[in-house]
Amino acid sequence: MRNSPAIKLWDTAAMRHFPDLSTLRALLIKGLTGPQMLAFLPALCLSAYWVGGEPFLVICALAVPLIYAAFGGTGHWVDSGPLGDLQKPSVEAVAKQFLGIAQHNGQTTACLQIAIPQLEGIIERFGPDRAVEARILIASRLRSALRAPDHVFETGPMRFTVLIAPGFRLRLDNLLELAKRLRASAEEPLLIDGVTCSVSATIGIASSLNFGRNVTADSWLRSATEALEEAMLNGESATRLWSDRLSRHHKSRNALETEITSALDQGRIQAVFQPVITLRTGLVCGMEAFARWDHPTRGLLTASEFLDAARDANQMSRLGRTMFLQATTVLRAWDAAGFTVGTISLNLSEDELRDPDLAARIKGDVMRCDLPAHRLVFDLPEAVLTKTGEDVIRRNLELLTELGCALDLDVCASGGTSPIALQHLRLSRVKLDRSLIRGIDTSNDQRRALHAVLAMCDRLELGSVATCVETQEEHGVLRDLGCGAAQGHLFAPPSSAEEIGLWLKEQQVGPPEPTQSRIRRIK
């Protein structure tokens, strides 16, 4: 871990070792030239008066302060030397000391890594000087939420490390409560050049309780960093506590990150397809493409299992284009076979939407594959509603709709999608997550919630697609409530292009021959 200056000055008594001669010299100089020496000025003046009367008194009263200032009494001319090093210890030194004390006394200590990603935006918007001021203020806020023996370090332009002094009551609940308190302190809005800036704090925690006696300060600090990185994958203001399971997951994802580029090179990531059915007629109106990775040792991986690795490896744009080319090639093959498929849906991530060349690349690919743009549907994550103010994302969405592509928005029960937010996008449909579908056949509350979402779609003249439909009962309720289309295992699981071709032949041409294979379930 990179060393950086500590935000908090450390009391020299906390070093717990006998100072050497150079340290004693520095302490002596500091003692003789510090502001505390002014307390002896009255005594010196009285002594001068006793020795030489009023003339000596006047000389002493005037000369002593001048001499004191000239020789560094103000603190500007004195080199702190080794004392400065004692006042600003490294995070590794404090971590080593805290671990030693905790192990010796049977106590618990903890490390919290805190990331404030908005500080990067403050650097870009207001400049590095304002960012430094913001970091100092946040560090001060963090310090105010801690005890005197605890320490706060700035360990990066957007990160802080908090080391909690050993104690007997640092259990899981205490640490989570502490993290909550630190987040509340750090997330107070910042006022920079008259502009109020909101920030969020993401926290990773490593408690010494989760380690054996052989743990080192470096491994302890790295564990807190692993917890922080896992928390950052779960969105802003998340907290994760380090554990063996989290560490294994972290290492597994890092391994996938190094393998995904070669997997794309070797064509091991393939598109699978799931039909979208019009509920009123029961006919196919489209297909959605999903990515699957045929991993040599881990088996078939779903997109949710390797998207983070693709993002960390900066391969999201390449993965998206791979899915696009595979999906359009298969769609043209189905057209040539005489199947009525309609549209093909592909997922667009925030990373892809931030690519300035996205719309131009899609336009070029559409022209090369000779496919009408209106047959392409791009699924947008619900989080994009809060990103439409970003110039690149807004421009890409506008160019895609001008090209003729349709835009669907994925929504879930906890998303809080509002009609006002939906009006900022030229959407075609709203895709209803499983969280909105589950229980609609048994729960009146769930059914009313879904009815409200569908009513909003109807008012905004938006189509609706229910995903992950699994039972006939769910199918019936969706149709009765006026949902336009649906997809899910009730109709067909995500399957290879060949298997979907056989399914289309059965649906649109006639029953398959007895020797033909049926669709098989793909994870």
Q: Which residue has the higher pLDDT, 5 or 60?
A: 60
Residues 108 and 190 in one domain: yes
**Cα(124)–Cα(259) distance, rounded to whole angstroms?**
33
Q: Given a cut of 70, is residue 483 above it in pLDDT?
A: yes
Residues 75 and 132 in one domain: no
pLDDT on residue 75: 40
Q: Which of 32-41, 42-51, 106-115, 489-498 has the lowest mean pLDDT?
A: 32-41
Residues 134 and 197 in one domain: yes
Contact 132, 190 (CB under 8 A): no
Residues 97 and 227 in one domain: yes
Tell me whether residue 102 is in a domain. yes
pLDDT digits 0-9 by tens, 412-450: 765 556 666 677 778 999 999 888 898 899 999 899 989
**Cα(476)–Cα(280) distance, rounded to whole angstroms?**
10
Indicate the pLDDT class of residue 83, thresholds 50, 70 and 90. Answer: very low
Mean predicted lDDT score pLDDT of the chain: 82
Q: Given a cut of 60, is residue 32 above it in pLDDT?
A: no
Q: Which of 78-92, 204-218, 267-281, 340-354 has the lowest mean pLDDT?
A: 78-92
Residues 77 and 96 in one domain: no
Q: Given a cut of 60, is residue 115 above it in pLDDT?
A: yes
Residues 238 and 219 in one domain: yes
Tell me whether residue 349 is in a domain. no
Residues 192 and 176 in one domain: yes
Residues 76 and 218 in one domain: no
Tell me whether residue 172 is in a domain. yes
- What is the CATH number for 212? 3.30.70.270
Q: Which of 30-39, 229-238, 245-254, 261-270 has the lowest mean pLDDT?
A: 30-39
Indicate the pLDDT class of residue 256, thresholds 50, 70 and 90. Answer: confident
Q: Which of 44-58, 86-100, 288-302, 404-418 has the lowest mean pLDDT?
A: 44-58
Residues 154 and 58 in one domain: no
pLDDT digits 0-9 by tens, 348-395: 988 899 899 999 999 999 999 888 999 999 999 888 877 766 788 889
Structural domains in the chain (count): 2
Residues 126 and 141 in one domain: yes
What are the Cα distances from residue 166, in Å, to 98, 311, 464?
A: 6, 38, 56
Q: State the alpha helices, DSSP H only, in 152-243.
A: 172-186, 217-232
Residues 194 and 151 in one domain: yes
Among 86, 101, 126, give the residue marking a domain's end: 86
pLDDT on residue 470: 92
Contact 348, 354 (CB under 8 A): no
Among 62, 86, 110, give the residue marking a domain's end: 86
pLDDT on residue 348: 92
Q: Which of 139-143, 248-252, 338-342 has the lowest mean pLDDT?
A: 248-252
Mean pLDDT computed over 125-132? 89
Residues 181 and 206 in one domain: yes
Q: Given a cut of 80, is residue 10 above it in pLDDT?
A: no
Mean pLDDT computed over 7-29? 43
Strand partners, 241: 205
**Cα(120)–Cα(3) distance, rounded to whole angstroms?**
20
Backbone torsions φ then ψ of 235, nearest 5 degrees: 100, 175
Tell me whether residue 117 is in a domain. yes
Percentage of the chain modeled with pLDDT above 70: 82
489-515: b (≥16 Cβ within 10 Å) or e: ebbbebbbbebbbbbbbebeeeeeeee
**Cα(69)–Cα(63) distance, rounded to whole angstroms?**
10
Domain containing 22 equals 12-86
Quickly list DSSP for 367-425: HHHT--GGGEEEEE-GGGGGTTTSHHHHHHHHHHHHHT-EEEEEE-TTS---HHHHTTS
Mean pLDDT computed over 226-250? 82
Tell me whether residue 270 is in a domain. no
Among 55, 86, 117, give the residue marking a domain's end: 86
Q: Given a cut of 80, is residue 478 above it in pLDDT?
A: yes
Q: Which of 301-305, 319-323, 324-328 has the lowest mean pLDDT?
A: 301-305
Tell me whether residue 397 is in a domain. no
How many CB atoms are closer than 10 A to CB 459?
A: 9
pLDDT on residue 324: 94
Q: Given a cut of 70, is residue 30 above it in pLDDT?
A: no
Whose CA is closest to 332, among 359, 372, 302?
A: 372
pLDDT on residue 512: 53
Tell me whether residue 180 is in a domain. yes
Q: Which two tokens stand for residue 114?
A: 């805190």
Q: Which residue has the higher pLDDT, 325 or 387?
A: 325
The angle formed by the CA atoms of residues 340, 342 and 345, to the nearest 5 degrees, is 135
**Cα(291)–Cα(346) distance, rounded to whole angstroms?**
10
Quickly list DSSP for 319-382: HHHHHHHHHHHHHHHHHHTT----EEEEE--HHHHT-TTHHHHHHHHHHHHT--GGGEEEEE-G
Tell me whether residue 304 is in a domain. no
pLDDT on residue 47: 77
What is the bridge-based pairing of β-strands 151-154 and 239-241? unpaired
Q: Which of 104-118, 225-239, 276-290 has the lowest mean pLDDT?
A: 225-239
Contact 102, 161 (CB under 8 A): no
